[in-house]
A and B are shown apart, each in its own frame.
Chain A
Amino acid sequence: MKKKPKILYVDDEESNLRIFKDAFRRDFEIYTAISGYQGLEILEKTAFDVIITDQRMPGMTGVEFLKEVYTRFPEIPPDRLILSGYAKDEDINEAFKKYKLSKFISKPWEYGELKAIIMNAIN
């Protein structure tokens, strides 16, 4: 059996995590984190093909999380980071410019569309 790509999904809504996992579990190996902090912890142990994060989260926003990822794990190849949700243009632009963000998608996402984006990032 072909090894599935590993995806880390970070969102502060448990329902979102569950739904994401359920939608993509057939295609990818899904790891989820309820916050940026938890995401960073997981990243310490596991390497991922693609990281997807929600923007608006208490404590650490998606962009802040991406910044942390960028500084702590510089070896992560570009085009592997995706941001979702609702964010201010300035924040997104900052992430694009500085933290290797490759795609921004707005919620609610659509399975086919998001899958295509993820596949695109991996290849």
Chain B
Amino acid sequence: MNSKNVQVEKHILTGETHCNNSMIKQQAIRAVLILLFSGTFNFNGFALNQSVIDSLRQQLVSLKSDTGRIKTYLELGDVYKYANRDSSLHYYRKALKLAGRLQSAKYIALGLKEIGRGFYSQSDYDSALYYFDKALKINKQTGAEKNIADILLDYGNVYIKRGIYDKALEYELSALKLYEKLEDKDGYSGCLNNIGNIYYYQGDYKKALEYYQKSLKIKIELGYKKGMAILLGNIGNLYNELGETDMSLKYNMKSVKIYEELGDQNGIARIYDNMGDTYVLKKDYPLALDYYKKALKLLERTGYKRGIIITLLSIGDVYNRTGQYKKALEYEFRALRISGETGELNSQKMAYEYISRSYKKLRDYKNALLYKEKWFRVHDSIFNVEKANAIADAEARFQSEKQEQQIKLQQADLEKSKAELARVEAVKKRQEIVRDLFIVISLLMLILVVTVSYFYRLKKRDNLLLLEQKKKIAAINEELETKNKELQATLDKLKQTQQQLVQSEKMASLGMLSAGIAHEINNPINFVYAGINSLFRDFEDIEPVIREISMIDPESDNLKEKLQKIERLKEENYFDEAFEAIPQIISDIKVGADRTAEIVKSLRSFSRMDTSKMQSLNVHEGLDTSLLLLKNKYKRNIEIIKNYAPGLPEINCYPGKINQVFLNILSNAIDAIEGEGKIWITTRREDDNVVVSVKDNGCGMSAETKRRIFDPFYTTKDVGHGTGLGMSIAYGIIREHNGKINITSEPGEGTEIVITIPINDEEKT
């Protein structure tokens, strides 16, 4: 049981649109079935068979009997019923006209009923009801109970279509009672079938099956093969709904066998279509396609357009499920074309929906939307057409009622003039007419109420659809939001990576810096370090001499002897050399200490690299510090020519960052020089800016390098010798200071980089 339910659920869950369509589709097919049942016309008639039409037309000419001609007209109406609404109605109306002329209540009622059924089959239920009402009235007058029961059945069908199942059931049950009374087993079983249909539509498949089975039993008893085939098909379809595909196939096989015996092409097609549905359920799409295509072939032969449309859409559906959306579209457009030919809006609507769905699957949202819009337009126009039909029918009704009234009034007058008794009867009759009129008007009111409530329901359904679409949009919005969040996360990650890269470039600058410091400090520290050692040893050398001298006692000592000893000591200890060296060493130590202090002092601005505060910077000092750090890189082979503008104002900036720029640009200039070369550093003031130009006579840049110099990771250096970020970061820093960097360079001629930085003096601005 459980697995069954699951399967049914699955079927419903395969997409709301599909579910809706399959309902529409099933209703469409059942519209044929139910008519077949309750109708009395020739079953083979609905294949548009030219030879049948020809022979019927022949009959019209040759037949003398009017009733025969009426019958022929009705048959012709039947023939065209599903292929051509206008032709069908044309023949029914001819039959009705002829019947009216003959004043044959039986045929008038029959004609009215058939016209009603014609409208019914075209889904024009208001018109159908109008004619059924007329037919019912006449039948009630004549007391033709069998006909009354038939029409009650028709009413039931209309209400089934409108989804007013309680009312439909009411009509079906009263028809059932009548048939029972008349012992009309055929009608009775037809009623059972319709009741089965009502339960089917309400989703009560168990009850539906019960009624179908009862109906089938009677048909078998009666030996009505057509009825059997229909019911077997209905049961087969029902088992599809229950997900019991094997049972479905069993019944459908039985049904198709009978249809084949009867040679009923449309019937066979209908069962093939059912079987196609079964195989779709079984997910055996190739087989499903096989059956649908067989059905299509048959229907094309009979020209039953509505059936063709439904089958084409079924095929489209299979292609859609198997991912062949273009093929699906091919069939769906065929369906659309044919639905255009029939002018039948409901199937057009269906085709639009399927096409929109296929485009959506193809991710062609533009067309998907286009056809969805068309769907809405048709949807709206159906609404309008129905409304217009209702109004036109109401008017026609009013007109014909008036005419009828007049005719009856004339008849009454005639009677009145004939005899007193007849006059009383005529009065009676007039009263009857008034009563009938009253009935008709109340019926009209009823129809109006039903129509209004129907439209109200339609509107409500539209609102629900809108709500659903709103929900979908909300879902899309939500999706977009999550996408946004993902993008934001990626962006954050990128930013983090960028920061890391900037940091690593900073570290690279720091590496260059520490290498520079190491070497620059090396020598002066060596003066101090080695110098102190020498000083110490020199002092050791002169110490004995000084001690000797200081110990001289001029009173007692032999001065000559002492002096000789001192002279000897001096010689032994290299006194003169040491004595000479000491002041030199002290001065060297001082030079070393001074230079070390100078370097440390000038490095202070670099030690503030991360400072985020604006400070004033002497550009010349910044340049000199950078040069100092790079000294070991250039001192061998490069002459630096400084052309500093005197009195250049200090700039208010982030000193660490600007120094980083200087270091980078000077370092690049040094790297550009292979052998001997020169670097010119020029500064000047231009308006409120300081301009620094660094020009080298090195290798210059290619056009490619010039173009890409500020690109992150672009480097002409070997792997491991540059991050390729130096210039890109320099660019960023200058931009941050609202400055500019310009480059002029020719390969082989050298490069000039000109930086313009605003002085940015806070007091001035």
Chain A residues with CB under 8 Å of chain B are 13, 15-16, 18-20, 22-23, 25-26, 56-59, 61, 85-86, 107-111
Any A CB within 8 A of the CB of B5: no
Interface pair B636/A59, CB less than 8 Å apart = yes
Chain B neighbourhood of A86, CB < 8 A: 518-519, 522, 632
User: Shortest CB–CB separation between residue A5 and chain B, in angstroms?
Assistant: 17
B529 contacts A15, CB within 8 Å? Answer: no
In the bound assembly, the distance between CA atoms of A99 and B635 in angstroms comes to 24
Q: How far is the CA of A21 from the CA of B375 in the complex (A)?
A: 104
Q: How long is the Cα–Cα vector from A62 to B108 in the complex, in angstroms?
A: 129
CB within 8 A of B533: which of A15, A23, A26?
A23
B577 touches A110 (CB 8 A): no
A-B pair number, CB within 8 angstroms: 74
**What is the minimal beta-carbon distance from B543 to any residue of chain A, in angstroms?**
14
Q: In the bound complex, what is the Cα–Cα distance between A28 and B428 (angstroms)?
A: 161
Binds A, one of B261-269, B381-389, B581-589, B683-691: B581-589
| Complex alpha-carbon distance, A90 and B251, angstroms | 93
Of the candidates B518, B525, B529, the one having the most CB atoms from chain A within 10 angstroms of its own CB is: B529
Contact of B527 among A19, A26, A110 (CB under 8 A): A19
Top 6 A-B pairs, shortest CB-CB distance: A108-B526, A108-B529, A15-B588, A22-B534, A22-B581, A23-B534
Determine if B577 and A25 form an interchain contact, defined as CB atoms under 8 angstroms apart: yes
Interface string of B512-538 (1 = CB under 8 A from A): 000000110011011111110110011
Across the interface, which residues of B come within 8 angstroms of A23, CB to CB? 530, 533-534, 537
Please list the residues of chain B having a beta carbon within 8 angstroms of any beta carbon in chain A: 518-519, 522-523, 525-531, 533-534, 537-538, 541, 574, 577, 581, 584-585, 588, 591-592, 632, 635-637
User: Is B526 a contact partner of A19 (Cβ separation < 8 A)?
Assistant: yes
Q: Which residues of B contact A58 (CB under 8 A)?
A: 635-637
Question: Which residue of chain A has its CB nearest to the CB of B581?
Answer: A22
Contact B538 A22, beta carbon cutoff 8 Å: yes
Chain A residues within 8 Å of B530, by CB: 16, 19-20, 23, 108-111
B523 touches A13 (CB 8 A): yes
B526 x A16 contact (CB < 8 A): yes
Q: How far is the CA of A122 from the CA of B588 in the complex (A)?
A: 29
| Docked-complex contact A107 and B523, CB < 8 angstroms | yes
Shortest Cβ distance from residue B248 to the other chain A in the assembled complex, whole angstroms: 86
Extra contacts, 16 of them, besides A15-B527, A16-B530, A108-B526 (Cβ < 8 A), are A15-B531, A15-B592, A16-B523, A16-B526, A16-B527, A18-B581, A19-B531, A23-B530, A23-B537, A26-B537, A56-B519, A56-B632, A58-B637, A86-B519, A108-B529, A109-B530
How far is B632's CA from A79's CA once the two chains are assembled, in angstroms? 28
What chain A residues lie within 8 Å of B528 (beta carbons)? 108
Chain B: minimal CB distance from A40 (Å)? 17
Do the beta carbons of A108 and B635 come within 8 Å of each other?
A: no
Contacts of B588 on A, CB cut-off 8 Å? 15, 18-19
Distance, CA A63 to CA B581, complexed state (A): 30
Q: Within 8 Å CB of A109, what residues of B?
A: 526, 529-530
Please report the C-alpha to C-alpha distance between residue A112 and residue B529 in the assembled complex, in whole angstroms.
12
> A22: which B residues are within 8 A, CB to CB?
534, 538, 577, 581, 584-585
CA distance A18 to B534 in the complex (A): 10
Residues of A within 8 A of B637 (CB): 58
A109 to B531: give the CA distance in the assembly, Å. 11
A61 to B635, CA, bound (A): 11
A53 to chain B, nearest CB (A): 14
Closest to B587 in A: A15
Find chain B residues with CB under 8 A from A56 CB.
519, 632, 635-636
Task: Give CA–CA (A57, B522) in the complex, Å.
Answer: 13
CA distance A56 to B518 in the complex (A): 12
Find chain A residues with CB under 8 A from B534 CB: 19, 22-23, 111
| Interchain CA distance A51-B49 in the complex, whole Å | 123
Contact in complex: B577, A107 (CB < 8 Å) = no
Q: With a CB–CB cut-off of 8 A, which chain A residues contact B523? A: 13, 15-16, 107
CA distance A72 to B577 in the complex (A): 34
Closest to B541 in A: A26
